[in-house]
Amino acid sequence: MTATVFGLVGALLTGIGLFGLLARPEPLLRILAFNVLGGGIFLVFGAVARRGAGAGFAGDPVPQAIILTGIVVAFAATTLAVALLLRIASDDESDPS
């Protein structure tokens, strides 16, 4: 039951994040929307992991470990996006033409 609830929340978050990514023009908000989207995907995957609970584990540890990896990679991507954004902003400032 819990798995289904949060799986559906993940599906909704994916839609919300995707909409923000496509419909909001502000770059920082797009980065945030991308992370909301990522959280939704992880939650869908986490619901699948929870349904695979067994052998004394609260969830299937293989998807859980992959989600952990995914969170760190998504963070690395976010830092890179922010660095790009700040570089573009500082170039715009020093060269207004």
Between CA 81 and CA 61, with CA 39 as vertex, the angle to 5 degrees is 120
34 touches another protein (CB under 8 A): no
CB of 96 to another protein, least distance (A): 9
The structure tokens listed for 79 are: 């830092």
CB of 31 to another protein, least distance (A): 7
Query: Over the range 33-43, which residues count as b (16 or more CB within 10 Å of their CB) and which as e?
Result: bbbbbbbbbbb
Query: Hey, which residues between 63 and 92 contact another protein (CB under 8 A)?
Result: 64-69, 71-73, 75-80, 82-90, 92
Q: Which is nearer to another protein, 56 or 97 (CB)?
A: 56
